[in-house]
Structures are given as structure tokens and as C-alpha cells.
């Protein structure tokens, strides 16, 4: 990187001509993440708010371009790791996110659950252990007082506060369960986001059609301290809400679709908080995920 060239570009950010500024800004953005320290130094030495605002916008554009690139890599990965996707969503609000604390927390919870598991336990007994460790020992709980706060959708805030909304709590539970090798996957029901404990001895969930109730042993609601329920309760809920029944409401979704749901709900939260710039970025990420969505197996 030519330091003198970079500094000369940054010096032009105070040009009153909008077309000159836009040209300079685009050239700076093309330099990528490495130029951010120079921009931060320029922000500190700037005396006019308009210059500081311009620098902040440029830094935001650079960080968002990097995030889009990381999402492209995640989309191209074969397994669409749920934890990695969840961390990427948090980077919308925390571009320089260091995942160390989050990874350590997940590993600690996973280890404590693993120490209690054994092959003789039933699926129900395994879930009771997860619930005990996650909700009783580590004290995770739903945040019902500020439901639409963006913090309720970001894994960084969940780990720091031990409180979160339904979508991030459910995904967090799924991350830990899948790392333990348990067949627990997200399910998207209207107005609810829960988990299904898949029947390992059943036919492949995503390839063969038959009664949805036989595909899942039971459902788990992490937003209600891991309470368990059956397909009949989903049917009752849909009738109560006057929502037309649909087999998809009973079936596990892919990790890709779970992250897409998280992106969408986080966007809505930022909109409700009047943080429209963040909401716009999330809409672009959602569109990217929709455009690149893997085709279902026929």
C-alpha cells in the first residue's frame, strides 16, 4: 500500500464538490480494510463534523463490503455452519467482533452437557440435561421486556447478557446441540421459532414425503426454558390463530434457512429501532441469501 497515495486521497475528503468527494470515496473504498487505520487517524484529527461523517460512512462501506464477502464464503461452504453464520449476522452491528468469548462460552456449555450424556439416555433425557445446563446452571433466559431490540437477535449480546429473543435463543440451543451430535434443528412456525428433535431411525427428513409427525420425536421451545410439545399442539395453535395448516410448519429447516430467518428478524428489529442504515444492510444480506439459496433436492 502506497501510504502517501492513501494520505493524499484522504486529504481530499473535505472537497466541497460532491462529485469529487464521491470519486475519492470510491477510490478509498476500493483499498479495502487495510485503509481503515488511516481513516480512523483522519477522523480523530478532523475538526468539522461533515468530514467525520464522511469518514464514518466510508469506513461503514468498507466494513460492509468485507461482511458481504464473508457471507459469500459462507454461502459457498458445503455445510453452512450455524455458528459461523450467526457470528456473521452479529458483525452487522459489531464489525470488529472478536468471537473468542462466544466460542469459549459455547465450548464450556457443550462440555458440561457432554459430561452428563451417555448412550443409554433417551432423547427426552438428553434434552432435560441440555435444559438444566443451559437454563439452570448458565442462567440463559428469554428477554420479554424489550422484545424488538436489535440486541435480542445478536449472539454477542446474548452471551454477554444471558438474555435474548426467540430466534437467537433457539439458534444458540441448536448450535450447542449439533456440536454434541444431536439431531436437533430449527423449525419455523408462524409467529414462533422452535426446535425439532429429529427421529434418527426415521426416513430422511429432506428426501421422502410421509406424515410429518413421524419425522420428529418432539419439539422444543427454548424461549420457554426448553419446554417440550408435540405436533398436535402446533395444529391447535394454527387453528387458534386461524392460520392454514401446512406440512412445512412441522419440518426442520436447514441451517441456511435458519440464518436467513435470523437476518430477516434482525432487519425488522433495526427498522423498529429507526436504525434504517443497519436495516438496509441487512436487507441486502437477506437478498443475497435469497438469490444464492441452494435449490431443494428433488
The CA-atom distances, in angstroms, between 139 and each of 62, 109, 179, 180, 225 are: 37, 11, 20, 20, 10
pLDDT tens per residue, range 211-258: 455 589 999 999 999 999 999 999 999 999 999 999 999 999 999 999
Q: In whole angstroms, give the CA distance from residue 72 to residue 81.
A: 13
* DSSP one-letter string for 108-132: HHHHHHHTT--TTS-HHHHHHHHHI
Phi then psi dihedrals of residue 201, to 5 deg: -95, 5
The CA-atom distances, in angstroms, between 210 and each of 28, 206, 216, 234 are: 56, 11, 12, 17
- Predicted confidence at residue 50, as pLDDT, reads 86
- Predicted confidence at residue 293, as pLDDT, reads 85
Q: What percent of the chain has pLDDT over 70?
A: 94
Q: Which residue has the higher pLDDT, 208 or 133?
A: 133
- pLDDT mean over 118-137: 97
Q: Residue 20: helix, strand or coil by DSSP?
A: helix
> Which of 220, 183, 176 is CA-nearest to residue 86?
176
* pTM of the shown model: 0.90
- pLDDT mean over 57-76: 95
Q: In whole angstroms, give the CA distance from residue 84 to residue 74.
A: 8
- pLDDT mean over 115-121: 95
- pLDDT mean over 59-76: 95
- Predicted confidence at residue 71, as pLDDT, reads 97
- Predicted confidence at residue 21, as pLDDT, reads 86
pLDDT tens per residue, range 14-44: 888 888 888 999 999 998 888 999 999 999 9
Q: Quote the Cα angle for 133-134-138, to 5°.
A: 85
pLDDT over 90 (residue 108):
yes
pLDDT tens per residue, range 155-213: 999 999 999 999 999 999 999 999 999 999 999 999 999 999 998 765 444 444 444 55
Residue 294: pLDDT band by 50, 70, 90 thresholds? Answer: confident
> Which of 101, 159, 141 is CA-nearest to residue 227?
141
- Predicted confidence at residue 277, as pLDDT, reads 92
Q: Which residue has the higher pLDDT, 32 or 81?
A: 81
- Predicted confidence at residue 2, as pLDDT, reads 78
Q: Decide: 184 and 196 in contact? Cβ < 8 Å.
A: yes
- Predicted confidence at residue 205, as pLDDT, reads 43
pLDDT tens per residue, range 37-66: 999 999 998 888 888 999 999 999 999 999
Q: List alpha helices for the chain, DSSP H.
A: 3-11, 18-30, 36-45, 49-76, 82-90, 100-114, 123-131, 155-161, 166-179, 231-240, 255-272, 276-291
The CA-atom distances, in angstroms, between 10 and each of 2, 19, 25, 95, 274 are: 13, 15, 8, 22, 30
Amino acid at each position: 500500500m502506497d501510504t502517501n497515495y492513501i494520505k493524499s486521497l484522504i486529504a481530499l475528503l473535505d472537497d466541497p464538490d460532491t462529485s469529487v468527494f464521491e470519486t475519492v470515496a470510491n477510490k478509498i473504498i476500493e483499498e479495502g480494510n487495510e485503509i481503515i487505520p488511516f481513516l480512523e487517524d483522519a477522523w480523530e484529527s478532523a475538526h468539522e463534523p461533515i468530514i467525520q461523517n464522511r469518514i464514518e460512512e466510508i469506513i461503514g462501506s468498507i466494513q460492509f463490503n468485507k461482511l458481504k464477502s464473508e457471507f459469500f464464503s459462507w454461502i459457498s461452504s458445503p455445510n453452512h455452519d450455524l455458528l459461523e453464520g450467526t457470528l456473521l449476522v452479529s458483525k452487522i452491528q459489531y464489525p470488529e467482533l472478536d468471537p473468542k468469548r462466544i466460542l469459549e462460552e459455547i465450548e464450556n456449555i457443550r462440555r458440561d452437557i457432554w459430561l452428563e450424556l451417555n448412550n443409554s439416555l433417551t432423547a427426552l433425557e438428553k434434552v432435560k440435561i441440555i435444559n438444566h445446563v443451559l437454563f439452570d446452571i448458565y442462567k440463559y433466559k428469554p428477554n420479554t421486556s424489550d422484545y424488538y431490540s436489535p440486541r435480542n437477535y445478536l449472539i454477542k449480546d446474548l452471551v454477554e447478557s444471558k438474555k435474548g429473543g426467540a430466534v437467537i435463543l433457539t439458534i444458540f440451543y441448536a448450535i450447542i446441540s449439533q456440536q454434541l451430535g444431536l439431531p436437533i434443528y430449527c423449525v419455523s412456525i408462524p409467529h414462533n421459532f422452535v426446535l425439532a428433535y429429529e427421529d434418527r431411525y426415521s426416513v430422511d427428513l429432506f428426501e421422502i414425503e410421509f406424515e410429518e409427525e413421524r419425522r420428529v420425536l418432539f419439539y422444543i421451545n427454548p424461549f420457554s426454558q426448553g419446554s417440550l410439545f408435540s405436533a398436535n399442539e402446533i395444529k391447535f395453535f394454527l387453528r387458534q390463530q386461524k392460520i392454514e395448516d401446512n406440512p412445512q410448519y412441522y419440518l426442520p429447516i436447514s441451517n441456511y434457512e435458519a440464518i436467513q430467518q435470523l437476518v430477516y428478524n434482525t432487519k425488522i428489529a433495526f427498522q423498529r429501532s429507526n436504525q434504517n442504515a443497519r436495516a438496509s444492510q441487512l436487507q441486502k444480506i437477506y437478498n443475497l441469501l435469497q438469490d444464492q439459496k441452494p435449490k431443494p433436492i428433488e
